[in-house]
Amino acid sequence: MRRRLLGRLLPCGLVLLLLLGAGIFLAVKLPAALAPLAAGERLLSLCAGVYVLSAAPAESKPYRLLLLLVPWLGAAACFFLGREKDAPARPFAPFPDGRMNAAASLAAGCGLQAGCLKSAEYFSSGKEMSVRLFADLGAAKKEILLDYYILARGRFFDTVLQILEQKAAEGVRVVLVGDGFGCAGLSRRFFRRLQARGIEAAVFRPLRPFAPAGLNLRDHRKLALIDRSVAYTGGVNLADEYTGDKIRFGHWKDTAVRLFGEACAQFAVLFGEKAPQDAPPRGTLPFVPFADGTGGRRVGEELLRSLISAAERTLDVCTPYFVPGDRLLAALCLAARSGVRVRLMLPHIPDKKGVFLLSRHYARKLAAAGGEVREYRDGFLHAKSIAADGEYLYIGSYNLDRRSLFTQAECGALLGDSGVTSAAARDFSALWQTGVPLPRERPREKLLRALLLPFAPWI
């Protein structure tokens, strides 16, 4: 009986031992054996996801990539980062010109009222602008409001500071705003010293190690408002490279404009001040001020698209960074395909290589649609302007990239005058002659661009 029982149990025990051994073996060895297969499956899924993302709208690519790479963390980040919301613009038509009225309606949507200036002056370099700015600051009687992305000690900024301290001592109200990132080289003690001398100095979003959420929300404006009748805007910051006193990347090419007239007072809104509303325009130069903050309704991208879409003959575009959203790129390509001569001028010497690669990528798309692209070879091109049909000129702090158009605080002006636009056209033509053709994309650039492209809206 025992022998018979043992004879039955022994095979069962051996089978159990074999199963247990096989289970232990599989538990230990199988994951390691399948690791290459799992890695290959993950890599294949990632490549397929990136391929699908390449056809997705630019604005949503980073969000989708986060969801693909890190689903749980990516989902939380998408809710945290949020999305832009569009709102209808209020109709506002102060001009007989339909194109200017379209821009005026958009500007009214962000609280700025269009009007007419007495005059405007175009500067083809920061050096030219600085001389005129010194004179206007020195002649100020009541108020000086300055908002600049970069404040850096040197000949340019130090001269401005001397004038500001003198005017503050005379009883002129002086406000100076700098961005926390752009003026990171200036200490808190420096701003406290300015405050002690009667200057209302402030830093927009100071850099803090434990507050990364707002790192990309910068004040990128370049704006001076003097006695609410003179305003300066464009690409020029208060630092020596903008005037040529400090050499970076060769000759620093920039542009700016001086606006004169009561309509300039609209820019006071950007400093938290009240500006006159519904005042009769005094002057003959049509003027639309516009600006975006770091939240709420944004109008800059829509206004530039409106200007581009209405062009009938020519579009001359200067920008240091060309990473537009899908809608802006589509508007430029459509203009080129429609017979408008679209000329895009970019830097040939990069200051940010990642953005430089992406700028060339999007510029090649515009060239494929019939646009003309050249690169400024004598130094770094920092000018930010769009001239349409020789009659309309945008100039301001906006770059043609997503950070400027959808994230940062920016400002600019749209002018409808043949005089100032003619000066800008002559400057662009001279600049175009110095340009070199857009080169072919090399294999290494293709690889780097492919890696950067999904994150283009955040670069």
Residues marked active site are found at 220, 222, 227, 382, 384, 389
Q: At CA 174, angle to CA 169 and CA 178, rounded to 5?
A: 130
d(CA 149, CA 176): 11
Output the CA torsion sign for 172, 284, 258, 307. positive
d(CA 66, CA 18): 45
Output the CA torsion sign for 242, 243, 245, 249. positive
